[in-house]
Amino acid sequence: MLVGSCFHFLYPHIYPPFLSLHNPIPSSLSFCVASSAMDKSSTCTLFLCGKSSAETESAKSLKISNALKLPDGGEVSNLLRSEISNFQFGEEAFDVDLFINSLSTNRFGRFLIWSPRLSSTHDIVSHNFCELPIGAVCVGDVQFKGRGRSNNAWESPRGCLMFSFTLQMEDGKIVPLVQYVVSLAVTEAIKDVCNRNGFPSLDVRIKWPNDLYLKGLKVGGILCTSTYKSKKFNVSSGIGLNVGNVKPTTCLNAVLKELSTTSNEFRREDIMAAFFNKFEMLYDIFINQGFQTLEELYYRTWLHSGQRVIVQEKNEDRFVENVVTIQGLTSSGYLLAIGDDNQVCELHPDGNSFDFFKGLVRRKLE
């Protein structure tokens, strides 16, 4: 039985990683600006790149057919990797060659779309899902209409790593869990980059269901959306991570500077390549063996084991507060908790707040 309560989590795969103008949360990932800053009449330039000759041929085919479109019908200019050198984008532009040369996957990330400025990486992959190879990724240096809740507009500044990619799943029961695999891959990628470069370890942690925290401040977020077509779930997964933009909270490079005496910095390309290298391995385990195989690693990375929360439940005409302790995740991806009365329950978000721990619906488990 569902009981009305007060403890907030949104449905696991629709939480935005960026700050909304209409919901100014201090712990948000990046600055936002008014939607008037968007110039819908400008052309969106997409550079289509492939790691192998097969992906490069796919890029050429998409350019010739001009198949990639924007949701708002705006003009798109599709160019190839070989044409990047015809432009001057500055040192802060995404280094396509560095990313592709650092990639060691068989599927994910091998087809790359890069744009110096675009509305939303998530819109590109979700709107063009059927035109793109599975595992294709879109990354932008600046995006001005990042996907979020309630159709809010977002500004994601330089220094942010913002990318979205495609994957396809058949079992709808595990689709809500894939965001946890994505979150875990991000934290594992950061560890890998630190180890390979001799950086001090950064303790990036997962806040359920899809936020990334460092030193108590939000530095990233995950957005996964899905559609069902031809008996398969087409999943678009987006990641936003503060790599070099210190405001409004902090970023990886700011914390690295505090811990290191050198001038070394994280590069977006290294992190994104490490992400896909890790994600492909974790995703294969997830699909073939189930999420339970990854749970131990996930629980070492998240913030909530043993966390005690208060659930307000309506009992006739009054509210009663009950304390429960988070134990882990249920098979459906919600929070597994136990009350002081030893009653095991599942905690659901009520969907009314950006703060997930301000309103939960408790369902008792037999």
pLDDT digits (tens, 9 = 90+) for 106-163: 999 999 999 999 999 999 999 999 999 999 999 999 998 765 444 444 457 789 999 9
Look at residues 300, 315, 346 and tell me which one is the last residue of a structural domain.
300
pLDDT digits (tens, 9 = 90+) for 229-240: 999 999 999 999
- At residue 359 the predicted structure's pLDDT band, cuts being 50, 70 and 90, is low
Give the whole-number percent of the chain exceeding pLDDT 90.
71
Residue 318 has a pLDDT of 82
9 occurs within a structural domain? no
User: Encoding tokens for residue 43?
Assistant: 């052309």
Pairing of strands 232-242, 2-3: unpaired
- Domain encompassing residue 252: 44-300
187 and 333 co-located in one domain:
no
Q: Do 325 and 257 fall within a single domain?
A: no
Any idea what the CATH number is for the domain that residue 247 is in?
Answer: 3.30.930.10
Total domains, the chain:
2
pLDDT attached to residue 355: 55
* The model's pTM: 0.86
Segment 199-217 mean pLDDT: 95
- What mean pLDDT is reported for the chain? 85
Of the candidates 344, 293, 357, 304, the residue with the CA atom closest to the CA atom of residue 328:
304
Q: Indicate whether 4 pLDDT > 60.
A: no
Residues 235 and 218: their CA atoms lie apart, in Å, by: 24
Same domain membership, residue 193 and residue 71: yes
Question: Do residue 338 and residue 235 come from a single domain?
Answer: no
Looking at residues 9-37, what average pLDDT do you find? 32
What proportion of the chain, given as a percentage, has pLDDT over 70?
A: 82
Q: Are residues 264 and 325 in the same domain?
A: no
Query: Distance (Å, rounded) from C-alpha 129 to C-alpha 186?
Result: 23
Say whether both 197 and 162 belong to one domain. Answer: yes
Type of residue numbered 29: L
